Amino acid sequence: MSETPANTNSPQQTATTQTTAEQAVNSMPEFIVIWANYGSVNKSVDVTCIVQALVTELLAKGEPVKFKVSNDHMGCNPDKAVNKSFAIQFNYQGQNYSLAAMEGEEVDLSLVAPTINVLGAVYGCSKGCFDVTAKVSALLDSVGPTRIFADNATFGDPCKGVKKSFSVRYAIGETIYTRTCKEDESVELAAS
């Protein structure tokens, strides 16, 4: 009497597996990378497609959306021998978030929290200042408190040879906050 081995790849089983994989992809949270940049003040590159692919891969595996900011993960080294930064704006289930991190830090996009909305930011002195609202927004870490270091390397030098100050006005929900510091100091953007 001979036995017939069980067919482990029957068409019915394969179809079920494909449907299950399709359902898993369709049930992933809506997570869209609007833009992502990686680099230094002198040279940065758009890494939107690379980060979107990384996010999609992590979600498909059912893993948290977190990764280390590195040349390997960003797929390039836009400015050799310089510490680089990473900034991202993404949409998660209909809500926009922003986040920034330095090279070597771990980014966890699955810990999204209420967005800090920068209303205005300036850096300079009485003789002249720069509107740095967009720069602060790019540096912003919506996952928790963000420390912004106010110096010429971060914001440029609007008045050479003169001590400058930094001021930022931001909102978390309906509450508006203001933080100010001197050049070469830092402020923390938080709900307090």
Tens of pLDDT, residue by residue over 178-191, are 999 999 999 988 76
Tens of pLDDT, residue by residue over 68-121, are 999 999 999 999 989 999 999 998 767 788 888 999 999 988 766 556 889 999
Taking alpha carbons only, the member of 134, 61, 47 closest to residue 90 is 47
- Domain-by-domain residue ranges, the chain? 25-110, 116-189
Sequence letter at residue 103: E
Q: What is the pLDDT of residue 141?
A: 53
Backbone angles phi, psi at 62, to 5 degrees: 75, 20
Tens of pLDDT, residue by residue over 24-74, are 444 445 789 999 999 998 899 999 999 999 999 988 887 888 999 999 999
Mean pLDDT in residue range 145-174 = 90
How far, CA to CA in Å, does 41 sit from each of 23, 92, 192?
A: 43, 28, 30
